A = this chain, B = another copy of it.
Amino acid sequence: MPDTIEPRVLKGFRDYLPEAELARLALTHKLERVFGSFGFVPIDTPALEYAEILLGKGGGETDKQVYRFKDHGDRDVALRFDLTVPFARFMAEHVDALYLPFRRYHMAKVWRGENTQRGRYREFMQCDFDIVGTDSAAADADIILTIAEAMRALEVGEVRIRVNHRGLFNRFLAVRGVAAKSVAVLRTVDKLEKIGAEETERLLTADIGPENARAVLEFIHPEADFSSTLEKMYSACGETDPEALAARNRLAQVRDIAEAAGAAASLVLDPSITRGLDYYTGLVVETSLADMPQIGSVCSGGRYNELASLYTTKKLPGVGASIGLDRLLAALEALNRSGDRPEVTKLLILNLEDTAQTQPQLQAQAQRAAAALRRQGIAVEVFPEAKKLQVQYAYAERKGIPFALLLDGKAAEAGKWPLRNLASRSTRDFSSLEEVADALNEPRSPDAKKPAGSGSDA
């Protein structure tokens, strides 16, 4: 016995077996269609970049999670850990070859050497979409509408798209005289759902004192509807500040556009949404599923003033969001109450022992039929060997193939094409391949409406 190497993947990495990969492809294709319907175009960037580009000049010590190494030319390189930094580099490099506003999406893998004990993967897909080169409310609204349409296309049920505006929060903190603590406050508030109101108040009190902590908790509590929440927030900002007024008007306009486009029902103004990261400067957004709130946000983002300031002096304001593909895939699997699995092959042409024809003849005949059916848009495979029938049926069962053609020389000579529904175990003879194709292309299963006399239970 040869000395084999144990087949295994690295911790935190995983294979996608066909069912998982089919589900992933179905998801990304739906998203591509949605992005396309809003004019977003796809890009891709290298998996490997200069470490300096990905981490910035001083990033050496801080980014322990990054896969970083010396390449053959002794260059300091790293695997991308998100799609935002490569996009910033991309825009700085190519802005003159593009058009602004530039709407792009990017679905690709990223790598982080994270602690896998938290259930995180070290390789995972990200899906980002952004509109860069405009500071308009229309672009903010477009991101919201795209999220709404993406969730509708993915059939994840009702969603809550929760928005907020950094300008209001910042102005509120300034009015309370604690603007200097804004980063700490935003980070604490961002954890509200995870840690609860009591712990949030304790942390806030430690940073800004008990009175301010209570004021923050009052500020971040949503009112009955978008407008009353907005007016409460605005009045807490003192109603005199032009930045606060602009933020209020921006949120109102985003709401109006969402209403005009039929997406207002999902839109919630939630002052507790802050998106911990401090590079957001305007709108911030998080999306949760009404049926599965516990999985957290499935799409988050916001507006930033400067996408690419590390690489260019050009001003590139933008707004965008990131879809959590892994969370959505997990949600879709959990929500799939019917237990449907994606169908690949519609029809298996069985390989029968045959007295009328040789195996090679039968194989040629099977492939002729398969080619004809594929031209009718049917996914067909030919079982390649004359194995026992139960082996071939078991194969069809394992692969989820719904129909089988029991092709043999005798049946073909008699002008019969016996089509078997593998779920109902009934077989029906058709008199031509065209009829088989028509039956398989019907939305309903072919044996649901047998003409009298032509059906036979096998």
Contacts and interface: CB of A to CB of B under 8 A. Distances in A.
Interface residues of A, number: 120
Interface string A1-25: 1101111111101111110011011
A67 B73 CA distance: 11
Interface string A33-54: 0001111111111111110110
Contact of A385 (B2, B46, B134, B398): B134
Nearest to A88: B7
A333 interface: no
Nearest to A109: B47
A455 interface: no
Contacts of A261: 367-368, 370-371
A10 B48 CA distance: 8
Interface in A358-392: 360, 363-368, 370-371, 374, 378-385
Given A8-B93, A14-B46, A21-B41, A136 B384 contact: yes
A7 B48 contact: no
A170 to B, nearest CB: 23
A313 B382 CA distance: 28
Contacts of A259: 364
A39 B344 contact: yes
A182 interface: no
Interface string A46-81: 111110110011000000110101111101010100
B18 A43 contact: yes
Interface stretch (A96-104, A266-274, A288-296): A96-104
A13 B44 CA distance: 11
A21 B9 contact: no
A47 B111 contact: yes
Contacts of A309: 2, 4
Nearest to A50: B10
Contacts of A139: 384
- Total copies of the chain: 2
A94 interface: yes
Contacts of A308: 7
A310 interface: yes
Contacts of A126: none
B311 A13 contact: no
A37 B380 contact: yes
A189 B142 CA distance: 59
A158 interface: no
Given A261-B368, A360-B253, A46 B138 contact: no
A238 interface: no
Given A15-B45, A41-B22, A71-B113, A365 B260 contact: yes
A236 interface: no
Nearest to A89: B7
A220 to B, nearest CB: 27
B49 A10 contact: yes
Interface in A393-436: 394-395, 398-399, 401
A223 interface: no
Given A142-B384, A149-B374, A385-B138, A43 B67 contact: no
Nearest to A397: B99
Contacts of A49: 9-10, 13
A137 B9 contact: no
A151 interface: no
Nearest to A139: B384
Contacts of A298: none
A5 B311 contact: yes
A422 to B, nearest CB: 14
A90 interface: yes
Contacts of A64: 72
9 contacts: A5-B57, A7-B312, A10-B50, A13-B48, A15-B94, A48-B122, A134-B384, A138-B385, A259-B364
Given A72-B113, A101-B384, 19 more contacts: A4-B92, A4-B309, A4-B312, A7-B89, A7-B90, A15-B90, A16-B44, A17-B98, A21-B44, A22-B41, A25-B32, A39-B345, A39-B399, A47-B79, A48-B123, A67-B69, A138-B363, A256-B364, A260-B365
